Chain A
């Protein structure tokens, strides 16, 4: 089987080297670009399976690279940003980035995000039942089971859970969730989302205070994790 191809677009040499070694030792094939323009050319010449894109590039900004890539490139793009750039992260996610990592990040986290992003590409076909560890969603019956036990959810709770679960591993921004579930008028009503997330957690999480399915991405949104570890 061919190795998964990852393109790194990052100007910091030390970080580039670190990413290259980490990814190669985890059986990925790695290409690197130091600048945004080089990255665009390399992506076009050899379309990779996944792109790691730094937002702070010296020539053209990461957001612009992202926008240009998304005119034709459909594979996952993971953003690397400096800590606390929430607005930039949200903008990137809304512009088609699949996920993000804030510097400094742990290697384990990087690999988990890459795996999750690649997995979401594979599971595109329709499945009547979404099966996760300890939790299943039956799309035809519109029912949710937790450890074989039926969980009673309201319509909105179900829709929210389904939206998150269908995008397993991917961060969904507050604005996206509100727009999709409640409609465009509710984009600034983050408190609804929080109330519903809290209710959902009480119903599906083994320990609602230490959630394992619905993970909070502070200031950005929520991420559903179906397979632990």
Chain B
């Protein structure tokens, strides 16, 4: 709810300066042309000036302007000029009315702004509460699922020891193990998010061997999920690049995990990496169903989850991708791949060690 009332936030002392200045300017101009302008018109011009000041300034500077304009009008325009005396009774009524109108104007405008400010604060607070609730809901769901698995499986192992076959025992045990890994991943995301929120994220640039990082990631992702076909396509002779390795790893890991979690089994996922003209370009593409057009902008928002998704997710993964990429001075784009799946493109500026002098 943005109104013109809040467009200008000017410091208090300048508000006095501007409002007094405006009144003096209008009054001065009118005085110069006083032979051409009827003094009744001058009252209206001054009224407009004070009203405009009331729109954007606090009450006190406006009241000062109102008082000043009334005095100036009386002194320089109402005959006899250069005297506070008002001889014509009609002029006296006009002066009084002028004063009352200008005051009402100032006070009313001020009141409206107060009400607006209050309403704005309320809606901000409501939004905050809503966001907080969304966080709690999605988090408690996301964290409780693996916790339930751990409690359920370990209870079963403890209380039902005699009746469980060895095969079932080992299934329960691997469920505990998988759930714990998932919990760990969520905690990691939460920590990263709070680091981003706190604004205390300072990229630590180190020399990164891209093939080493990417193949390591590929291995980790394949170990975590065997149901998708993950493929790496790297430019030949990728140079060493200087950037924050942990952040880059987290960005790519989140995108891979995201693709694995939200596409059907056997979906192909392809990670490509190119370096050209001081810029690192990475794409992660799948041949799944892609993102709905109208939600593409929203998926990077904190805690946003697709509307028609039964799947899980805290809505943190992609917002961390965006936050980290931007912290590295880069950008992330989401589009549709040629197969209709999702295509994430990441561009990050990075220095490269192209012709490194080698000391043997």
Chain A residues at the B interface, C-beta cutoff of 8 Å: 83-84, 104, 154-156, 182, 186, 190-192, 194-195, 197-198, 208-211, 216, 218-219
Contacts and interface: CB of A to CB of B under 8 A. Distances in A.
Contacts of B184: 104
B211 interface: yes
Contacts of A209: 211-212, 215
B7 interface: no
Contact of B212 (A104, A186, A191, A216): A216
Contact of B356 (A186, A192, A208): A192
Given A190-B207, A216-B216, A195 B240 contact: yes
Contacts of A84: 246
Given A191-B240, A191-B356, A219 B246 contact: yes
B358 interface: yes
B180 A104 contact: yes
Contacts of B211: 198, 208-209
Contacts of A182: 359
Given A104-B180, A154-B360, A155-B360, A190 B206 contact: yes
Contacts of B246: 84, 218-219
A195 B357 CA distance: 11
Given A209-B215, A216-B216, A192 B245 contact: no
B358 A195 contact: yes
Q: Would you list the 9 A-B pairs with minimal beta carbon distance, nearest first? A: A191-B207, A209-B215, A194-B209, A156-B360, A191-B353, A190-B207, A194-B207, A191-B240, A198-B209
Interface of B: 180, 184, 188, 206-209, 211-212, 215-216, 219, 240, 242, 245-246, 249, 353, 356, 358-360
Contacts, number: 47
Given A210-B219, A216-B216, A219-B246, A194 B240 contact: yes
A220 B216 CA distance: 16
B359 A195 contact: no
Contacts of A198: 209, 211-212
B121 to A, nearest CB: 38
A210 B215 contact: yes
Contacts of A190: 206-207
Contacts of B360: 154-156
A192 B359 contact: yes
Nearest to B180: A104
Contact of A195 (B208, B215, B216, B356): B356
29 contacts: A83-B188, A104-B184, A156-B360, A190-B206, A190-B207, A191-B207, A191-B242, A191-B353, A191-B356, A192-B358, A194-B207, A194-B208, A194-B212, A195-B240, A195-B358, A197-B209, A198-B209, A198-B212, A208-B211, A209-B211, A209-B215, A210-B215, A210-B219, A211-B212, A216-B216, A218-B245, A218-B246, A218-B249, A219-B206
Contacts of B356: 191-192, 195
Contacts of A191: 207, 240, 242, 353, 356
Contacts of B240: 191, 194-195
Nearest to B249: A218
A208 B212 CA distance: 9
Given A84-B246, A218-B246, 8 more contacts: A104-B180, A191-B353, A192-B359, A198-B212, A210-B219, A216-B212, A218-B245, A219-B246
A84 B246 CA distance: 9
A42 B236 CA distance: 56
B119 to A, nearest CB: 44
A209 B209 CA distance: 11
A18 to B, nearest CB: 12
A191 B360 CA distance: 14
B144 to A, nearest CB: 19
Nearest to B208: A194
A41 B72 CA distance: 90
Contacts of A192: 356, 358-359
Nearest to A183: B359
Contacts of A155: 360
Nearest to B188: A83
Contacts of B180: 104
Nearest to B360: A156
Contacts of A210: 215, 219
Contacts of A195: 240, 353, 356, 358
A155 B358 CA distance: 13
A38 to B, nearest CB: 29
A60 B360 CA distance: 44
A186 B356 CA distance: 14
